[in-house]
Amino acid sequence: MSPDPLISVRSFSKAYEGVPAVERVSFSVKPGEILGVIGPNGAGKTTTMRALATLIPPSDGEMTVEGFDTRCHPVEVKRRLAYIPDDPRLFPHLTVEEHLTFAAAAYGVSQPDEKAARLLEDFELSGKRKTAARDLSRGMRQKLAICSAYLYEPSALLFDEPLTGLDPIGIRTLKQSIVQRAQAGAAVMVSSHLLAMVEDICTHILLLGGGQQRFFGTVDELRLEFADHGSASLEQIFFLATGETDAARQPGSSADSAVMA
Ligand code: ATP
């Protein structure tokens, strides 16, 4: 029997000061699944993730994590979920080590030292143990946020543009770790404009456009719905599904560099 979804979103809508940003979006993520959230700028990707992370209230609809409603049980949701934005907020004066100690205490992690040491090794932060967050590079801050999240082993992991500040080794480590976490039973969401990465690791796709849900399903289902041949790349499908013109794909155009990076 198929497991219950860890993340469930039904008819989620969000308006900012009366202006709709996301309208009636529904999807779910089961253990082991990696959902790629894609769509042009302003499509509503971050809004959807921030609402799931209980950082902003939905205007309508229902969002649950392991069955806990984000509005009624935000603390239970926070215990089970990690939201990692591309520019995470850290405590500027706390060192790398202190961040992990804090995360371990806040989430009741047992025997955190060994886990922390392994994570710092994996993400090449071992040499920065005693460095304050304010003195880390942008990519290092991202890596620290990822290590802090992985330390308490949340069942739902939400990455918002996770690759923007990472170096090639960091990108490879993060991609591998996302796949491993999903294989271990986590439900993962990854929003990104880097469609090759999304195609590489995601099992499912949520395609948003102008706050509307254009598609939710597996990558194969997406191909069937939008492409006239089974070998179409996610990038080709993206342009077909969002109605972008060929002109936007000419080498050197800003749209081209955004998706090809
Ligand atoms: P991007 O790819 O550029 O990161 P996105 O898909 O993550 O975009 P959102 O950041 O969710 O898009 O924005 C969706 C819509 O909501 C946009 O029209 C944006 O202007 C609007 N919006 C987002 N945050 C706010 C806010 N705090 N106040 C008002 N409007 C907002």
- Domain residue ranges in the chain: 7-87+156-260
Backbone dihedral region for residue 57 (phi beyond 0: left; psi -120 to 50: alpha; all else: beta): beta
d(CA 150, CA 147): 5
What is the pLDDT confidence band of residue 261, given thresholds at 50, 70 and 90?
A: very low
Q: How many helices (H) and strands (E) does the chain have?
A: 10, 10
Confidence label for 245 from pLDDT (cuts 50, 70 and 90): low
The residue nearest atom 3 of ligand 1, judged by CA position, is 41
**Burial degree of 89 (CB within 10 A; 0-12, 13-18, 19+):** exposed
Protein residue with least CA distance to atom 4, ligand 1: 41
Give the distance (Å) from ligand 1 centre to CA of residue 211: 9
List residues near ligand 1 (CB under 6 A): 16, 21, 39, 41-47
- Comparing 51 with 249, the larger pLDDT belongs to 51
What's the pLDDT at 244?
64
Classify residue 1 by burial, with Cβ atoms within 10 Å: 0-12, 13-18, 19+.
exposed
Distance in Å, CA 46 to ligand 1 centroid: 7
Superfamily of segment(s) 7-87+156-260? P-loop containing nucleotide triphosphate hydrolases (3.40.50.300)
Main-chain phi, psi angles of 30, to 5 degrees? -95, 165
Beta bridge partners of 95: 132
**pLDDT tens digits for 85-136?**
988 999 999 999 999 999 999 999 988 899 999 999 999 999 999 999 999 9
Look at residue 3 in the predicted model and tell me its pLDDT: 85
Cα separation of 44 and 208, whole Å? 7
- Mutation pick for ligand 1 pocket among 14, 22, 23, 41 (CB with most ligand atoms within 8 Å): 41
In ligand 1, which atom is closest to the CA atom of 193? 2
pLDDT at 232 over 90: no
Q: Which two tokens stand for residue 148?
A: 């802090």
The 10s digit of each residue's pLDDT in 23-75 is: 999 999 999 999 999 999 999 999 999 999 999 999 999 999 999 999 999 99
Distance 47 CA to ligand 1 centre (A): 6
Q: How far is the CA of 194 from the centre of ligand 1 (A)?
A: 18
Which tens digit of pLDDT belongs to each residue from 147-186? 999 999 999 999 999 888 899 999 999 999 999 999 999 9
Q: Are the beta carbons of 259 and 244 closer than 8 angstroms?
A: no
